[in-house]
Structure 1
Amino acid sequence: MKILSPAISRLARLRYWRVQQWSEHPREAQREVLQDLVTMAQYTEIGRRYGLSELFSVREFKQRIPIHDYEDLKPYIERMMQGEENLLWNTPVHWFAKSSGTTSDRSKFIPVTEESLKDGHYKAARDVLTLYYANFPDSDLLTGKGLVVGGSHQISKFAEDIHYGDLSAVLLQNAPFYGQWLRTPELAIALMDEWETKIEKLAASTVNENVTSLSGVPTWTLLLLKRILDITGKNHIVDVWPNLELYIHGGVSFTPYREQFARILGKEISYLEIYNASEGFFAAQDHPTVEGMLLFLDHGIFYEFMPIGEYGKPDPQTIGLQHVELGKQYALVISTNGGLWRYLVGDTVEFTSLSPFRVKVSGRVKHFINAFGEEVIIDNTDRAIAMASQQTGAIVNDYTAAPVYFSDHGNGAHEWVIEFETEPADMSAFITALDTSLRQVNSDYDAKRHKDIALSLPIAHAVPKGFFNAWLKGKGKLGGQHKVPRLSNDRKHMEEILELIRRWNER
């Protein structure tokens, strides 16, 4: 392995010109991607429906094809899962990424084509390595193994040769043979379904490996790291894996977890954020000190950006890269070589740079609080939680928040349920700091909080460690890509959680 690392490092540096090519010529790269997509799919069922063979401009493309959500494409996908071909894409589809993302009872099955694997996810993964080596040319990353805290794998009941699983499981199952040499644990453990047993197996099988990189959602990665410390009796992960140098994270904001990782690792390592979803690999951090992730423009995905004010309109309008602005909120709309056409992903992004194009994930189109015109998004609350934690010495594992509506008894408010790793010495001081921080990062919230005219001080409940995992487990959503919904504009999840708190307190 020691011999392999310098060779791959040189190859990564040689590949860097390709990244520069599409990042420096973004519009040309995107036009070529769209042309390839339309050419490939013009004689599919959806291609004939919308006349893809007759399209010659982006304007015509947007006029002919409406914006789709999952329910719009679901009839095609269900037929594909039964073995039908040539519906959304012109090559056979044998794999589907089971996507949930929240505690919704409805699962989504996103088609994963050979093209979306090779020219999308795996190509993007190589570019991530290229970007990392460009910043750290003397890295020994590949002298050890990468530990992937991934999802599960199941066989679909619809057809014998149709498979599905979490995206990470699909990627692991289809990875090139040399990828198996560079990662741990063995595939049988990586693809286990039952998460509590899986964490035990992951910990036991990797403590003696030379792990140089970690990748996974922060919550589950932390759970694994804590279990490894329990097993080994060590104080810090550096005592277990002294050569660990990189943590690749995504799925949720890393801001609330950064301090907790620093404490448990016991050494300075590099952190690299990626934006990789079931629908495609969209972006990755290209510089350790620059905010935002480089948008991947040559990976089989054509992007459109819907100004957030258009969301929910009968005929929402989108814009291209040439018209996006810094600091504005956009819902992401994509067309892909996985057979998704003008598909509303559900994420909101904000551009942090226009040359090159860098984005950060700011929230979800359905995950916000705007009951009183405050327009609070996840990016706001993650930052406020981090600021309040720093001021009070607290460490937060997870949280959720929802509105409290006006009543005869008082004004509205935001109600929070917060799971602490380390509780603040004074909970009231934490709530005040949280409120103050949120007022600093969101002027609309600040205006509604002025003299308590519309919004009163937040209501907060501290819950014990493991509470949210218990809630997820009770819903059959423990592990994988399932996450606690940070923000809800109604009280459905909040009432479920408050009822669970009441039952816990009665024990």
Structure 2
Amino acid sequence: MKSLVNKTVKLFLKSKYRALTQVMQSPFEYQYGLFDHLIETARHTEWGRKYQYEELTSYDSFRSRLPLSSYEDLQPHIHRMMLGERDVLWPGRITWYSKSSGTTNSRSKFLPVSEENFNDSHKKGSWDTLSILYHYHPNLQLFEKKSLILGGSLSHFKDNPETIIGDVSAIMITNLPLIGRPFYMPDVKTAIMEDWEKKLDLTADLALREPNIGTIGGVPTWNLVLFRKILQKTGAAHMLEVWPELRLYIHGGVNFQPYRNQFRQMIPRDDFIFQEVYNASEGYFGTQYRPDEDMILLLDNGVFYEFVAMSEYGSPHQNVIPLEDVKLNVDYAVIISTSSGLWRYDIGDTIRFTNNNPYQFRIVGRTRQYINAFGEEVMIHNTDTAISRTAAKTLSEIKDYTVAPRYLEDGEKGRHDWLIEFQHPPESLHTFATVLDDELQKVNSDYAAKRTKNLALEQLSVTALPENTFEKWLKSQNRQGSQVKVPRLSNTRDYVDDILDFTNLQKIHVDD
């Protein structure tokens, strides 16, 4: 029976792949067709009447009439929608809201997920990903094996219990098509539990009774926690001793490079497939196209894209451009308008296009996660690359990290302070810090210039945190879930000092 289902789904996915190919061949036609649909659909909403959507005749008129929106701009409208109001940002009443804690603000964001947005973005993006996987790996048997997806939780909004809030992964699990339920684990009740520790323990116990798992999914850090629980319970050397059919990992949310070596050790299989996706709370934006290539931007999935070059971002005269005007190897902030009523919304992510036929990109950071305390302009992709290279050179493994500046004070020079939780620490923390500083200079010329002869910046400092510090700190902040990530970079010391206070650590400079 499962074999028949797999064959049937493969035929369906062939048609999905053909449709995806057509979109990639005519990107602007599909984007502007989608733009027209969004404007026409929302013309009678409160937002549409405010900005006179019925008079918008082109993208240029849309761009000149509507301002860019932050979450703070849209939040009052979203709150009214959560209380049950209709036709505010999008037609009808929206009952599902994805909860995004973000990595730059401890306050939760609640982002509307309309039925159209769920079907045309989140669900469609999942099918697009599967169509690509089966195209390049036709022998996959995803619908003959089990898939273990480590999702988030759901709850009712206290001011209106008919409104449901939670991680986008939990929303997708709850609305999983009937055809997919027999191939998914854990059960829905366990998958959407709010008690994260209990969910991990139950998932580990359930997974041990199911050896036929072929696919895993979720944020890398939480999957590694689950793996370690399972290996501890079984005494197995690696995950293939537990799940011999394991073949695929679908991941997203963070740069995977710092975790790749740990996954390779946990899953020592030469033909194992790593598939990166970009499924955010606001929509399913991208998926890896070919093996070992960057993701493609999904252009027919309920999202109209605009971009702002990071060199202009936040300036009074920043230029907002459509897809057709982007250039390769330039870092852009992503602006979206969606079939959930997020209009010209700044999602806070930065991407870089590496190809325009098709449009392929990589995520390079967050608009608010950077360090530019001394003119060094360090972004997440710089630190991820530098720490991955350093770990390889020092035969160590990184579990997670965060970085903040140490500002100039009392006659001292500034520096970057790194808090790192190691899976396998290096022999010498001093050597690790020296190599890391050197690698960061190699990938960021501005940082290298500020480090010249220690004129503006001293060598960076590294503190090794005790095991599970980040996990415990996130729990203390009530920030556990599949979408929750450790903030990597900050231009202030708020996170670093809070973590140090939490662990009662005294900062030790590696030069001591």
Q: Which residue of 1 aligns with 2:85?
A: 84
Give CA deviations for 1:90-135 in whole Å, capped at 9, x if unaligned. Answer: 1321111111122733111100000001111111110100010111
Q: Which residue of 1 aligns with 2:336?
A: 334
Give CA deviations for 1:435-471 in whole Å, capped at 9, x if unaligned. Answer: 1111111111111111111111001100122011111
SS where residue 346 of structure 2 aligns?
Answer: strand
Give CA deviations for 1:239-261 in whole Å, capped at 9, x if unaligned. Answer: 11111110000011100000001
Cα drift, residue 480 of structure 1: 2.9
Give CA deviations for 1:286-311 in whole Å, capped at 9, x if unaligned. Answer: 11122x20000000100001111332
- Native 8 Å contact 1:99 1:481 kept in 2: yes
- Native 8 Å contact 2:104 2:369 kept in 1: no
Q: Which residue of 2 aligns with 1:257?
A: 259
Letter in 2 for 1:24: Q
Letter in 2 for 1:280: G
Q: Which residue of 2 aligns with 1:496?
A: 498
**CA distance in structure 2 between the partners assigned to 1:41 and 1:182 by the alignment:** 37
Deviating beyond 6 angstroms after TM superposition, the runs of 4 or more aligned structure 1 residues are: none
Q: Which residue of 1 aligns with 2:76?
A: 75
- Native 8 Å contact 1:329 1:349 kept in 2: yes
SS where residue 393 of structure 1 aligns?
Answer: coil
Q: Which residue of 2 aligns with 1:384?
A: 386
Give CA deviations for 1:359-396 in whole Å, capped at 9, x if unaligned. Answer: 11111111000011111000110010100000000100
Alignment of 1:33-112 (within 5 A): 33-102=34-103, 104-112=105-113
Q: Which residue of 1 aligns with 2:285?
A: 282
Letter in 2 for 1:271: F
- Native 8 Å contact 2:442 2:448 kept in 1: yes
SS where residue 304 of structure 1 aligns?
Answer: strand
Q: Which residue of 1 aligns with 2:373?
A: 371
How high is the TM-score relative to the length of structure 2? 0.96
SS where residue 236 of structure 2 aligns?
Answer: coil
Letter in 1 for 2:76: P
Alignment of 1:180-329 (within 5 A): 180-209=181-210, 210-268=212-270, 269-290=272-293, 292-314=294-316, 316-329=318-331
**CA distance in structure 2 between the partners assigned to 1:428 and 1:327 by the alignment:** 34
Cα drift, residue 495 of structure 1: 1.1
- Native 8 Å contact 1:103 1:482 kept in 2: no
- Native 8 Å contact 1:103 1:475 kept in 2: no
- Native 8 Å contact 1:103 1:477 kept in 2: no
* RMSD value, Cα: 1.3
Letter in 2 for 1:251: G
Letter in 2 for 1:56: T
Question: 5+ unaligned residues in a row in structure 2: which ranges?
Answer: 508-512
SS where residue 84 of structure 1 aligns?
Answer: coil
SS where residue 355 of structure 2 aligns?
Answer: strand
Q: Which residue of 1 aligns with 2:461?
A: 459
Q: 1:315 to 1:161 in 2, by over 3 A?
A: farther
How high is the TM-score relative to the length of structure 1? 0.97
**CA distance in structure 2 between the partners assigned to 1:118 and 1:226 by the alignment:** 35
Question: 5+ unaligned residues in a row in structure 1: which ranges?
Answer: none
Letter in 2 for 1:479: G
Cα drift, residue 355 of structure 1: 0.9
Cα drift, residue 408 of structure 1: 3.0
- Matched positions, count: 504
- Native 8 Å contact 1:420 1:463 kept in 2: yes
- Worse-matched range after superposition: 158-167 or 373-382: 158-167
**CA distance in structure 2 between the partners assigned to 1:46 and 1:101 by the alignment:** 25
- Native 8 Å contact 1:211 1:241 kept in 2: yes
Letter in 1 for 2:194: D
Give CA deviations for 1:402-452 in whole Å, capped at 9, x if unaligned. Answer: 011112332111000000000001111111111111111111111111111
Q: Which residue of 2 aligns with 1:29?
A: 30
Q: Which residue of 1 aligns with 2:359?
A: 357
Letter in 2 for 1:435: D
**CA distance in structure 2 between the partners assigned to 1:315 and 1:178 by the alignment:** 50
SS where residue 384 of structure 1 aligns?
Answer: helix
Q: Which residue of 1 aligns with 2:510?
A: none
**CA distance in structure 2 between the partners assigned to 1:65 and 1:71 by the alignment:** 16
Q: 1:59 to 1:144 in 2, by over 3 A?
A: same
**CA distance in structure 1 between the partners assigned to 2:338 and 2:438 by the alignment:** 42
SS where residue 91 of structure 1 aligns?
Answer: coil
Q: 1:408 to 1:157 in 2, by over 3 A?
A: closer
Give CA deviations for 1:193-227 in whole Å, capped at 9, x if unaligned. Answer: 11111110010011222111000000001000111
Give CA deviations for 1:308-348 in whole Å, capped at 9, x if unaligned. Answer: 13322345321112221121111000000011000000001
- Worse-matched range after superposition: 386-395 or 202-211: 202-211
Letter in 2 for 1:261: F
**CA distance in structure 2 between the partners assigned to 1:423 and 1:310 by the alignment:** 40
Give CA deviations for 1:6-46 in whole Å, capped at 9, x if unaligned. Answer: 22122212321101111111010100010000010001000
**CA distance in structure 2 between the partners assigned to 1:289 and 1:313 by the alignment:** 36
**CA distance in structure 2 between the partners assigned to 1:92 and 1:490 by the alignment:** 39
**CA distance in structure 2 between the partners assigned to 1:302 and 1:68 by the alignment:** 14
Whether 1:113 aligns to 2:114 is yes
Whether 1:487 aligns to 2:489 is yes
Alignment of 1:158-169 (within 5 A): 158-169=159-170
Cα drift, residue 478 of structure 1: 2.5
The sequence identity of aligned pairs, in percent, is 42
Q: Which residue of 2 aligns with 1:397?
A: 399
SS where residue 311 of structure 2 aligns?
Answer: helix
Cα drift, residue 503 of structure 1: 5.3
- Native 8 Å contact 1:103 1:472 kept in 2: no
**CA distance in structure 1 between the partners assigned to 2:177 and 2:86 by the alignment:** 25
Q: 1:349 to 1:103 in 2, by over 3 A?
A: closer
Letter in 2 for 1:321: L
- Native 8 Å contact 1:103 1:483 kept in 2: no
